[in-house]
Amino acid sequence: MATDAHHGPEFLAHHFDRPVQQFDAAKLGMWTFLAQEILFFSGIFVAYLLFRSWYPEAWSLGSRLLDWRMGTINTFVLLISSFTAAQAVATAQRGERNKTTVYLAITLICAGIFMVVKYFEYSHKFHVGLLPGSLFNPTEEGWAEIAAAAANSHGMESAPAGTYANHVRSYIGLYFMATGLHGIHVLIGMGVITWVMIRNIKGEFTSEFWTPVDLVALYWHLVDLIWIYLFPFMYLID
């Protein structure tokens, strides 16, 4: 049980009595952080729902400026990465170090694919000037896209272009804030997963101690949770 005359196993920090106490403290800390993340994103979701109820026609139009196929691909990619993150935890708990490394690597690859798809979506928006706030300055191609989306939308089929520009700008602004904030979370997640994967390769984790794998997976699942809502909210408006 105790590998040290003074204290328990090597992974047990000196201010904890027992591994289970250290583990419970870490888990409570992580859940507190995740609760904070929900509140952090809540401003985006409340703004989204209020603006959607105020400008349903602009939201219907704005959603058609996005490609639902891209969003669907990214949803599947993130779901797979959540599965591999869960598998990384299970294998770490069984002490299957190499499998944990593989699952963490697949999670990283999925995160990379997600960001590449996002890059293509963003770069097109940059190209046609569909940008948030004061940067909103559609090119001719951008206005043509807005007109095509309007013709296909509910409530703005016959509206002249100038009348809906401001509300489309609100939608684009929220799209960039929501998916941008989420994208930053994906990038941070990739960094932390890489760090945990390196520690795993170095052999820091055993079937007795795998808390960092567990915590990074929890964070990654939260990133997935946010996207589960962002996807239909942004891409799938009737």
Partner 1 sequence: MSHHDHNDDYHVRPHISSTKQNLAVLFGLFILTGLTVGAYRIHLGDANLAVAVIIATVKASLVCYYFMHLKYEKAFNTLFFLGSLLFLLIFLGYTANDTEYRADVDPDWGARVDRRRGDPAAGTGAAFLEGEFSPIPTLQEGESGE
Binding site for partner 1 (CB under 8 A): 1, 18-20, 23-24, 27-28, 31-32, 34-36, 38-39, 42-43, 45-46, 49-50, 52-54, 68, 72, 75-76, 79-80, 82-83, 85-87, 89-90, 93-94, 154, 208, 214, 217-218, 221, 224-225, 228-229, 231-233, 235-238
> How far apart are CB 210 and partner 1 at their closest, in Å?
8
Separation CA 112–CA 186 (nearest Å):
9
Q: Which is nearer to partner 1, 81 or 128 (CB)?
A: 81
In whole angstroms, the minimum distance from the beta carbon of 22 to partner 1 comes to 8
Residues 68, 125, 112, CA angle at the centre, nearest 5°? 65
Q: How far is the CB of 207 from partner 1 (least distance, A)?
A: 10
Q: Whose CA is closest to 182, among 226, 215, 218?
A: 226
Comparison of 24 and 141: residue with beta carbon closer to partner 1:
24
Identify which of residues 190 and 222 has a Cβ nearer to partner 1 in the complex: 222
Distance between CA atoms of residues 198 and 205, nearest Å: 11
What the block records as the tokens of 119 is 């890059």
**Of 188, 213, 16, residue with least CA distance to 97:** 213
Q: How many CB atoms lie within 10 A of CB 186?
A: 24
Nearest distance from C-beta of residue 126 to partner 1, angstroms: 26
- State in angstroms the smallest separation of the CB of 127 from partner 1: 26
Report the nearest approach of partner 1 to the CB of residue 15 (Å): 16
Residue 207 CB partners (closer than 8 Å, separation 6+): 92, 93, 94, 95
Residues 6+ apart with CB under 8 A from 180: none
The whole-angstrom separation of Cα 40 and Cα 60 is 26
Q: Is 37 or 122 the residue whose CB approaches partner 1 more closely?
A: 37
Q: Smaller CB distance to partner 1: residue 55 or 176? A: 55
Nearer to partner 1, 132 or 155 (CB): 155
